[in-house]
Structure 1
Amino acid sequence: MNVLQEEMILPNGVILSNRIAKSAMSENLSNKHHEPTAILINAYKTWAQSGAGLLITGNIMIDSEAIGEPRNVVVQNRKNIEILKKWAESVKGTKTHLWAQINHPGRQAMEQINSSLKAPSAVPLKTGGRKKTTKKVPEVLRESEILETIEAFANTSIILKEAGFSGIQIHGAHGYLVSQFLSPYTNIRKDKWGGNLENRSRFVVEVYRKIRERVGNNFPVGIKLNSSDFQKGGFSEEESMEVVKILSKEGIDLIEISGGTYEAPAMMGKRKESTIKREAYFIDYIDKVRKITNTPLMLTGGFRTTSVMRDAIASNQLDIIGIARPFAVFPNIGNEIFNESRADFTTKIKKTGVKAIDGMMNIIWYESQIKRIGQGKKTKPELSGWSVFFKYLWLIIEQKLISKTKNPVPSNV
């Protein structure tokens, strides 16, 4: 048997049918009220037929006052429980698990559509790689707000479990709120939530514990964690390994490794020459962390050929192959890997030639491909970068107009 088709038993006994997972990507496919749409659900119905053992959704925001992108799904009450059930049922009749990735953007909330930005500390986000150009300075979270946010993570988790999702993933990477608490660059607090690593990791530990308390021991809970921020003064590789130890001891079911932030986007950047042949961005780190934990490990970033994927599993470097962007271009990727009808899943976006815009293409071009999948259309590798950009710009304008008039959504319905 192809090793990629072997089952994976998680610590709580849940079985994944194989070693291929769709890692989270931003879909940006809610409606203007941040509710799941038929297009979004249809995309997951298509991916459910791909043969993958695990699908992880893109950012589901836990707070309607903290939105990462114009059309992120928000789950903070049971108002949309029926449509959430339809989303969870997208994998019905298959052996595929569907986990919901839950997130709070912190200082990475889009300031054009959020009335305020909140973060562990008042450290603004640098934009466009220009050191002197920064976004709005975020407000410092009060301790009461920190506790409310921890509760919100748990609240969203139990709603999604009730809707029928088969697991939860905490987004603890890429510079979002959990990542901001972990990093000494973005967390300069002097209280019990900042300072040494024990204090900086307190937030993610409390989020995990509160979620586990709500969903029970038999429901999978995982995390996406940075191997490093790749940023001066940020979350280091050594600290990441300590957090892996902490979360493993807590009993987390799956740790997905990625890296970088949107200030230092290693997850989308160039790889070292020494890792190009091995494809994966963070393979050196995974070799080290494998030695310090028995918790299942998933690695995302760079896998493109079936031979490299097989070797990574066969050599016991990791347990799950995380694939993101290729799923947006090759929606039947799992079956193609298993039946060996395609060996290379390299993707290449069409850029505009404008540096400031092309940085966005790493996300929004793939979002447009996902939308095509959800519309029942074939993916379009030649899709124009300019058309993608102008459609995204309109979404920002539209959501900004809506945000000026919307009423807050009650959080405990």
Structure 2
Amino acid sequence: MLESPLTLPCGATLPNRLAKAAMTEGLATPDGVPTAELERLYGLWSDGGAGLLITGNVIVDRDHLERPGNVVIDRVPDAAMATALAGWARAGTRGGNHLWAQISHGGRQVQKTVNPAPKSASDVQLALPGGQFGKPVPLTRDEIADLVRRWAIAAKACQDAGFTGVQIHAAHGYLVSQFLSPRSNHRTDDNGGTLENRARFLLEIVAAVRAAVGPAFPVAVKLNSADFQKGGFDFADSLAVVKWLEAASVDLIEISGGTYEQPKLLGIEGMEAVEHQNVAPSTAAREAYFVDFAQAMQAEVSIPLMVTGGFRSRAAMVQAIEGGAADVIGLGRPMCVMTDAPRRLIEGLAQLPRYEDRLEVIPKWLGFLKRFQVVKAINGFAGMAWYYQQLWTLGQKGRTDEAAVPFKTFLALDKRNKAILAARAR
């Protein structure tokens, strides 16, 4: 079943049901240009057997990076940028797979070191300790219209470069997600208030992108099943938006969830209790975080769904597809280490390795501290840095560094980020 092709509504066909989900790489130049390191990394993934590779955040405004080292397309590319994009696309499709660019904007989830006064739907600041994120400035109507155009420009640039599709990032608390959530969108104009108004920005982006790339080019959306925060974007909202996206000619919806304040996708709790949704938990959901949300959506829509988050066993992946919960399985962290995980799974590998349990900064003899939220957060983000280190090493050297120490990789990541920001300032 994993090896079965999938034909999308636009007519394009994915060669199998396994996808490399978007993971932030941080391997672009300080000016946001793709590099040889990105080509090396995506060449390895393309050789690895996935039917679809989705890039990390390609940013439409260089002042709103998700992290230093993002690729940036915020204008029609010049010759050098077009050449770099084409090189990335060639490497990422050399195995006969699809390669889709994930197009995004950080909004208020941009650290002060990048932008102390980021733009967002409203002036609602992230409720996180440490003061790493500034108070956002609400976007004007003209700025919103300009961003819609930028999404279309970026999508067309990627199509021209040889990418085979695009994904609009409307999840995880980034800008489009900030418009969708009533917690972060307090606008009183036609981009705020009702869900229809809050979804207007996303639907305008979809329409502009579709007009730019034509009817036969895959256009996908990554959407939260819920924010998992009280008073936030919930499952009922998500289902309604999915129906609108289906009507708007979107080809694939990737179901995810959470924000920086409530990072559900990371398997750790945020700064407040998780707001539970009206979706019954299943046995499969113990491994795959969002299967039940996708299953509930499949009863209401016919658009293909991709489910990412937590999958490790082949049996759970096959069950999700055969049971009708998912059309595509997204793999993230395992492919930071096992770049050919899709091929191995198709050939019969039963279980992908799970590294999370040995990536905790707090030693076992201090295990009693793990009940504290701050300790859970430290372990979670140090673990993320370890995976980022694997991507960096794959890009630089074509191999992984499984012996890397999580706390040291966290420090190394911070050092690289500061160096990139310093180079941008020059």
- Counterpart in the other structure of 2:50: 52
Q: State the alpha-carbon separation in 2 of the partners of residues 367 and 170 from structure 1.
A: 22
1:317 shift after superposition: 1.6
Distance 2:138 2:297 in 1: 33
Distance in structure 2 (CA, Å) of the matches to 1:152 and 1:93: 28
Match of 1:321 in 2: 329
Aligned with residue 265 of structure 1, among 263, 272, 284: 263
Q: Does 1:187 align with 2:156?
A: no
Task: Rate the CA distance shift 1:340–1:393 in 2: closer, same or farther, 3 A.
Answer: same
The answer to whether the Cα contact below 8 Å between 2:39 and 2:88 also exists between their aligned partners in 1 is: yes
Q: 1:377 to 1:219 in 2, by over 3 A?
A: closer
Aligned residue pairs total: 400
Equivalent residue number for residue 388 of structure 1: 409
| Contact map agreement 1:118 1:140 (CA 8 A) in 2 | yes
Given candidates 315, 340, 352, the residue that maps to 1:332 is 340
Q: C-alpha offsets along residues 356-399 of structure 1, whole Å, 9 cap, x if unaligned?
A: 64342243221111122223443233321122112122123223
Equivalence for 2:9: 11
Q: How far apart, CA to CA, are the structure 2 residues paired with 1:45 and 1:267?
A: 26
Asked whether the 8 Å contact 1:222–1:252 carries over to 2, the reply is yes
Distance 1:59 1:92, change over 3 A: closer
Instruction: Give the letter aligned to residue 123 of structure 2.
Output: A
For structure 1, list consecutive stretches of 5 or more residues without a partner in the other structure: 406-413
- Partners in 2 of 1:246 and 1:201 — Cα distance? 9
CA drift of 1:109 comes to: 1.3
The CA deviation at 1:286 is: 1.1
TM superposition outliers: structure 1 runs of 4+ over 4 Å: 270-277
Q: Which amino acid aligns with 1:382?
A: A
Maintained 8 Å contact 1:16/1:54: yes
In structure 2, distance between residues paired with 1:149 and 1:96: 30
Deviations 1:307-337 (A, max 9, x none): 1111111122210001111110111101110
Runs of 5+ unmatched residues, structure 2: 270-275, 363-373
Report what 1:98 is aligned to: 99
Deviations 1:175-200 (A, max 9, x none): 00000000000001000000000100
Hey, what's the Cα distance between the residues in 2 that align with 1:72 and 1:54? 20
User: In 2 relative to 1, CA 344–365 (structure 1 residues): closer, same or farther, beyond 3 Å?
Assistant: same
- The alpha carbon displacement at 1:343 in A equals 2.4
Is residue 303 from structure 1 mapped to residue 304 from structure 2 by the alignment? no
Corresponding letter in the other structure for 1:102: I
Equivalences for 1:373-412 in 2 at 5 Å? 373-405=394-426
1:166, 1:277 → 2: CA distance? Answer: 32
Q: Which has the higher contact order (CA 8 A, sep 6+)?
A: 1
| TM-score normalised over the length of structure 1 | 0.92
**Residue 352 of structure 2: aligned partner:** 344
Judge which range, 313-322 or 377-386, deviates more: 377-386
Say which of 19, 22, 28 aligns to 1:21.
19
| Kept after mapping to 2: 8 A contact 1:364/1:392 | yes
1:125 matched to 2:126 = yes
Partners of 1:369 and 1:399 lie apart in 2 by 18
Q: Are the equivalent residues in 2 in contact too, given 1:350–1:382 (CA < 8 A)?
A: no
Could you report, residue by residue, the CA deviation over 1:140-175 in whole angstroms, capped at 9, with x for unpaired residues? 101110101111111111111111100000000000
Distance 1:123 1:158, change over 3 A: same
RMSD (Å), alpha carbons: 1.9
Measured after TM superposition, the shift of residue 134 of structure 1 is: 7.3
DSSP-derived class of the 1:31 partner: coil
- Amino acid corresponding to residue 284 of structure 1 in structure 2: D
Map of 1:34 onto structure 2: 32
**Other-structure match for 2:370:** none
